[in-house]
Homo-oligomer: A and B are copies of this chain.
């Protein structure tokens, strides 16, 4: 398989991206190739700095860069020679099997929707983050920013997407789905969660365990936690900053280090016809490595196909 990497994406690119590609290369079989997409001269110089053999990678020249503050939609189409636009063009043409990047998350979403297309039946694609559990393992939180305004049926579908992702990629068998809310009782919540709860409570498309609260994020009550993208985005940035503060004050250890975003590589875009992972802007080489390996795993397990098959099955059962 071939995994594309936006070598220009992220605050510390290209050193972080090339460094991450080298780390990932060492953990992958020779049949898998990483495709470095970006300004060829910049890529080759970075490879020289790292004393790396350029032959182990494919290099695709893309001289433009989409800035973090440029409007994603317009720039994605206008800068057709940018690393992100070229990457998605290749993904749409099946010249690569997966695409990863820590650049403009907006442009990565635009590319996912326009070049790769949303899986039929998916109302809104979303992004998922991994949350470390106190005891062991991880939970999945979604959406974490793609859909700041969400409707109950969309939350319902996030539960399905999250359950498939948790089981296929993270090997969580028969995952427990919780709805993030501000109380455990049926009647608690805002208009959105109250309606979503009513939709979820009697359905058999997934294993719904009911409302969970902010305090349950790190315990074992739920494996997949569903919320609107506004709340999810606030949460992941909050957790990250708490982890940073604790590290800064010298209180880190193996356990607390599980809250380090680097270990999780990036957020996959769920609900599209391919494997795309968006990395954190501040990704270092270790995070880039994990982002590439996550995209590889998503492709290898056939995540998009599983989502497609499941939605077809559910639509037949539920007559959606």
Q: A239 touching B242 by the CB < 8 A rule?
A: yes
Residue from the list B182, B217, B230 in contact with A233, Cβ < 8 A: B182
Q: Flag the segment in A52-60, A159-167, A185-193, A301-309 that touches B.
A: A185-193
Q: B189 touching A218 by the CB < 8 A rule?
A: no
Chain B minimum-CB-distance residue to A145: B182
| A-B pairs with lowest CB-CB distance, top 7 | A214-B237, A148-B190, A214-B238, A214-B234, A215-B241, A182-B233, A215-B237
A179-217 interface code vs B (CB 8 A; 1 in, 0 out):
010100100011101000000000000000000011111
Interchain CA distance A145-B69 in the complex, whole Å: 33
Chain B minimum-CB-distance residue to A144: B182
A45 within 8 A of B: no
Chain B minimum-CB-distance residue to A230: B190
A249 within 8 A of B: yes
A246 within 8 A of B: yes
A231 within 8 A of B: yes
Chain B residue numbers with a CB within 8 Å of A191 are 149
Q: A245-B218, A256-B251 are in contact. Are A235 and B238 (CB under 8 A)?
A: yes
Q: A149-B190, A189-B148, A242-B242 are in contact. Are A233 and B249 (CB under 8 A)?
A: no
Chain B residue numbers with a CB within 8 Å of A145 are 182
| Number of residues from A at the complex interface, CB < 8 A | 42
Residue numbers of A with Cβ under 8 A of B are 69, 134, 145, 148-149, 180, 182, 185, 189-191, 193, 213-219, 227-231, 233-242, 245-246, 248-249, 251, 253, 255-256
Q: B242 touching A182 by the CB < 8 A rule?
A: no
Q: A182-B233, A246-B256, A249-B256 are in contact. Are A215 and B240 (CB under 8 A)?
A: yes
Q: How far apart are A170's CB and chain B's nearest CB, in angstroms?
A: 21
Interchain CA distance A234-B248 in the complex, whole Å: 25
Q: Pick 9 A–B contacts, CB within 8 A, sort by A.
A: A134-B245, A180-B234, A182-B230, A189-B230, A214-B241, A218-B242, A218-B245, A246-B246, A246-B256
- List 4 other contacts, CB 8 Å, given A214-B234, A249-B255: A148-B189, A218-B245, A231-B234, A234-B235
Q: A235 touching B253 by the CB < 8 A rule?
A: no
Interchain CA distance A253-B256 in the complex, whole Å: 14
Chain B minimum-CB-distance residue to A236: B214
Chain B residue numbers with a CB within 8 Å of A242 are 218, 239, 242
Chain B residue numbers with a CB within 8 Å of A245 are 134, 218
Chain B residue numbers with a CB within 8 Å of A219 are 241
Q: How far apart are A119's CB and chain B's nearest CB, in angstroms?
A: 24
Interchain CA distance A227-B233 in the complex, whole Å: 14
Chain B residue numbers with a CB within 8 Å of A246 are 246, 251, 256
Q: How far apart are A283's CB and chain B's nearest CB, in angstroms?
A: 15
Chain B minimum-CB-distance residue to A194: B148
Interchain CA distance A233-B183 in the complex, whole Å: 9
Which interface residue of A217, A231, A236, A253 has the most chain B CB atoms within 10 A? A231
Chain B residue numbers with a CB within 8 Å of A238 are 214-215, 217, 235, 238-239
